[in-house]
Amino acid sequence: MKYLLPFAFLLTLWSCSDDSTLVIDPQSTLGVTVEKMKSDYSLLPEEAISFSLDSTALAQYAQPTEKYPHGVMGDDIEAEQLVVAVEGSIYVHTLEEDYLFEDLRPRIYDIDGDGQLEFITIRTQVERGAGIAIYKVINEQLVEYAYVAEIGFLTRWLNIVTMDDLDNDGVVELVWVQTPHIGGILKVAKFNGGEMTVIDEATEQYSNHRGRTRHLCMSVLTEIDGQKFFYLPSQAGDKIVGFSFSNRQLIKEQTIDLEVDFTKPLSEQHPFEGLILDPVNCIDL
């Protein structure tokens, strides 16, 4: 017997196959792992699992909570637990009582370039709002590895734009919009272990999310002749703005006049040249 993959699985694996009815054999190692992740933990309503492209790493949120009535993605149900699987072994990290994941599913990316995948989350502290927390399996434990400090105020949230080595210096940059609903500030930090500090930010306002929607995939990454660019909507949603990053600075490269639809991925809304699709980390339910 086989079962259909949930939507999130299809989303993450669609680029591996033209078959839109991908199935997974529950007797396979992957099938057993997925079943264990679904049956052994207290899931969120959407039951969204992220799969790395090679399916060696899986991640989901679990342990629902309604302790933080913000509802930024349409309901007040957020998560207290991160559950990941690496090559069939499952690891769990449960947050302290005053934290929660205000997110849909974890991102999976080799952010420190060591060949091992890390797990990138939007994590909120109940009085200081959202930050970014990066987890890694070290010595058989799923531990916090790096973080961006919380915004500092209750109900303030952020959404990730991209993770990539944007300036080709061998170190990954992390880009996000702080408070995308109320005057979004575009920020960039270079990865390092421990607390990550902002290197640059854009003074004009941007937004990669509309309140109470379940679409976080509102940015794209492109590469042309080895140069990386990323694009995201203006705060008003009437433009798409393209940036590069070099010499520790965000550089505005292009403005595209376009009425953005915040209910579908930005990659589908403009014929971006050199588009790098990231189905693992295009978070959209």
Token digits for 201?
């930010």
Task: Give the shortest CB-213-to-Ca ion separation in angstroms.
Answer: 31
103 vs 118, beta carbon nearer Ca ion: 118
Task: Give the shortest CB-144-to-Ca ion separation in angstroms.
Answer: 14
114 vs 273, beta carbon nearer Ca ion: 114
Q: Determine the interface stretch with Ca ion among 36-44, 168-176, 180-188, 193-201 (rule: CB under 5 A).
A: 168-176
Q: How far apart are CA 258 and CA 269, in angstroms?
A: 9
Contact call for residue 167 and Ca ion (CB under 5 A): yes
Task: Give the shortest CB-173-to-Ca ion separation in angstroms.
Answer: 5
Give residues 93-152 in contact with Ca ion (rule: CB under 5 A). Answer: 110, 112, 114, 116, 118
144 vs 261, beta carbon nearer Ca ion: 144
Q: Determine the interface stretch with Ca ion among 80-88, 167-175, 180-188, 226-234 (rule: CB under 5 A).
A: 167-175
Q: Whose CA is closest to 158, among 133, 132, 134, 135?
A: 132
Considering only 35, 165, 200, 223, the residue that binds Ca ion (CB under 5 A) is 165
SS (H, E, C) the chain: CCEECCHHHHHHHHHHCCCCCCEECCCCHHHHHHHHHHHCCCECCCCCEEECCCCCEEEEEEEEECCCCCCCCCCCCEEEEEEEEECCEEEEEECCCCEEECCCCCEEECCCCCCCCEEEEEEEECCCEEEEEEEEEECCEEEEEEEECCCCCCCCCEEEEEEECCCCCCCCEEEEEECCCCCEEEEEEECCCEEECEEEEEEEEECCCCCCCCECCCCEEEEECCEEEEEEEECCCCEEEEEEEECCEEEEEEEEECCCCCCCCHHHCCCCCCEECCCCCCCEC
169 vs 259, beta carbon nearer Ca ion: 169
- What x/- string results for residues 22 through 61 when contact with Ca ion is judged by CB under 5 A? ----------------------------------------
Task: Give the shortest CB-67-to-Ca ion separation in angstroms.
Answer: 32
47 vs 110, beta carbon nearer Ca ion: 110
Task: Give the shortest CB-160-to-Ca ion separation in angstroms.
Answer: 16
46 vs 167, beta carbon nearer Ca ion: 167
Size of the site for Ca ion (CB under 5 A): 10
Task: Give the shortest CB-115-to-Ca ion separation in angstroms.
Answer: 6
Residues paired with residue 95 on neighbouring β-strands, in sequence order: none
Instruction: For the sheet with 249-257, list strands across it.
Output: 249-257, 239-246, 227-233, 220-224, 275-276
13 vs 175, beta carbon nearer Ca ion: 175
Considering only 40, 97, 127, 169, the residue that binds Ca ion (CB under 5 A) is 169
| Binding positions for Ca ion, rule: CB under 5 A | 110, 112, 114, 116, 118, 165, 167, 169, 171, 173
